Structure 1
Amino acid sequence: MCGRMVLTLPHEAMVNLFGATPGNDLPEVPDYNICPTDRVHVVSAQDGVRRLGAMRWGFLPHWYKAMNGGPLLINARGETIAEKPAFRAAVRLRRCIVPASGFYEWTKDEAGNRLPWYITRADGSPMAMAAVWQGWGEDDPVNTCAVVTTGANAAMSAIHHRMPVILEPEDWALWLGEAGHGAAPLMTAPPDEALTWHRVDPAVNSNRAEGPELIEPLEEAGI
């Protein structure tokens, strides 16, 4: 799964990376502790134009009567996304990309303490997480999104059994619908060597924690 992420890339760098037109309401960066229901950066495409905008992380199906009208849908399982009523239209028509520098995942020690890990791309490049989006509400519509996940690769499974779908640059156009709609083959785990990770301070267990020290490695930790 993906339940917390980091983004340190400046807006101009994201605009250049994705060839997107920026919105005027982008969240501030860097952010070392992006949490569910926060506004996140999202790349979408419409009429041949890519846009970098902001959406609420937490997908709201159209039938929710209120933002808390059902489960908080921050992730969508790639294996069943085309079948689930909440996501099946979005995965056909409203695919998007959530840029990230990395994301957090947790293991537990023998005493049950939650041990946080920070996961990044091994080559140091930004992540492009596959996602879907949905507009919600009539009077003042809110765009909302969920990150698509898949089963973890063998290496990542030492930390968690799920992971976000991470798209390579050559696949961005297909996922965004610019090169057709058959994106199902993209919803797979990256190769084992694609990611790297290290233990970080448990301070990040709090969704109020901030600052670059949250992603600094703990030297004594390892898997």
Structure 2
Amino acid sequence: MCGRLAVTLPNDAMAQLFAAQPSNDLPDVPNFNVCPTTLVHTVRREDGRRQLAPMRWGFIPHWYESPAGGPLLINARAETIADKPAFKAACRARRCLIPASGFYEWTKDQEGGRDPWYLKARDGAPLAFAGIWQDWEMNGDRHRTCAIVTTAANTSISAIHHRMPVILSTENWPLWLGEQGKGAALLMQAAPEELLTFHRVDRAVNSNRATGADLIEPIST
């Protein structure tokens, strides 16, 4: 799965990278501890152009009676996304990119303690995760929500976790966003082995209240 992100690219640079029109209510950056149910940056196609705008990280199906009306859906499995009632319509028609500088995964030590790892592109470039989105409204409460698409981890990442986000290369952004016809399903695969690198970070990031650039700094193990 993917349950925590870091986003450090300035909003104007992010808009330029994705050739997207930025909204005026984007989340503050840098943020080294982006948590579920908070706002994340997303890129989607609207009115013939790309929009960079915030969405709530945690997909809310239309039948939920409240944002907490069922399981928290922060990830959507690539293997079942086209069949799951919560996700299948969004998979066909409401796809987005979710930018990140990196993400966290955890392993357990012999005592059951959770050791965090930070994963990022080997060349330091921003990542673009495949995402899906959904508008939800009930009794005047409105949210635009999203989930990150995940797949089975490649060999190197499986040492930490058996799942990983679907990471889209620049040339595949148009296809995922519906700008280049059909075939987006073919993109839901693990990233190449050489794309990512990872290192242990301090357990401070285990708290969703933790902040600061120190969260992604390597520690000795």
TM-score by length of 1: 0.97
| Post-superposition offset of 1:47 | 3.2
Question: Which residue matches 2:84?
Answer: 84
Cα deviation, 1:38-85, whole Å, max 9, x if unaligned, reads: 100000002320000000000000000111100000000001000000
Alignment of 1:102-141 (within 5 A): 102-138=102-138, 139-141=140-142
| Post-superposition offset of 1:140 | 4.5
Task: Tell me how far apart the structure 1 counterparts of residues 161 and 172 of structure 2 sit (CA, whole Å).
Answer: 25
Q: Secondary structure at the match of 1:213?
A: helix
Question: Which residue matches 1:184?
Answer: 185
Alignment of 1:168-183 (within 5 A): 168-183=169-184
Asked if 2 retains the 8 angstrom alpha-carbon contact of 1:153 and 1:189, the reply is yes
Unpaired segments ≥5 residues, structure 2: none
Question: Which residue matches 1:146?
Answer: 147
Q: Secondary structure at the match of 1:120?
A: strand
Alignment of 1:7-156 (within 5 A): 7-138=7-138, 139-156=140-157
Task: Tell me how far apart the structure 2 counterparts of residues 179 and 143 of structure 1 sit (CA, whole Å).
Answer: 24
Task: Tell me how far apart the structure 2 counterparts of residues 14 and 80 of structure 1 sit (CA, whole Å).
Answer: 30
AA in 1 matched with 2:36: P
Q: Secondary structure at the match of 2:63?
A: coil
TM-align CA RMSD: 0.8
| Post-superposition offset of 1:207 | 0.5
Q: Secondary structure at the match of 2:83?
A: coil
Task: Tell me how far apart the structure 2 counterparts of residues 44 and 20 of structure 1 sit (CA, whole Å).
Answer: 9
Q: Secondary structure at the match of 2:194?
A: helix
| Post-superposition offset of 1:181 | 3.2
Asked if 2 retains the 8 angstrom alpha-carbon contact of 1:92 and 1:181, the reply is no
Task: Tell me how far apart the structure 2 counterparts of residues 11 and 67 of structure 1 sit (CA, whole Å).
Answer: 27
| Post-superposition offset of 1:108 | 0.7
Unpaired segments ≥5 residues, structure 1: none
AA in 2 matched with 1:211: G
Cα deviation, 1:5-34, whole Å, max 9, x if unaligned, reads: 000000111011000000011000000000
| Post-superposition offset of 1:111 | 1.0
Structure 1 segments, 4+ long, off by >3 Å, are none
| Post-superposition offset of 1:141 | 2.6
AA in 2 matched with 1:128: A
Q: Secondary structure at the match of 1:203?
A: helix
1:6 is aligned to 2:6: yes
Cα deviation, 1:124-182, whole Å, max 9, x if unaligned, reads: 10000000000000535310000000000000000000000000000000000111132
Question: Which residue matches 1:198?
Answer: 199
TM-score by length of 2: 0.98
Asked if 2 retains the 8 angstrom alpha-carbon contact of 1:48 and 1:178, the reply is no
Task: Tell me how far apart the structure 1 counterparts of residues 142 and 211 of structure 2 sit (CA, whole Å).
Answer: 29
Task: Tell me how far apart the structure 2 counterparts of residues 191 and 168 of structure 1 sit (CA, whole Å).
Answer: 10
AA in 2 matched with 1:38: T
| Post-superposition offset of 1:184 | 0.6
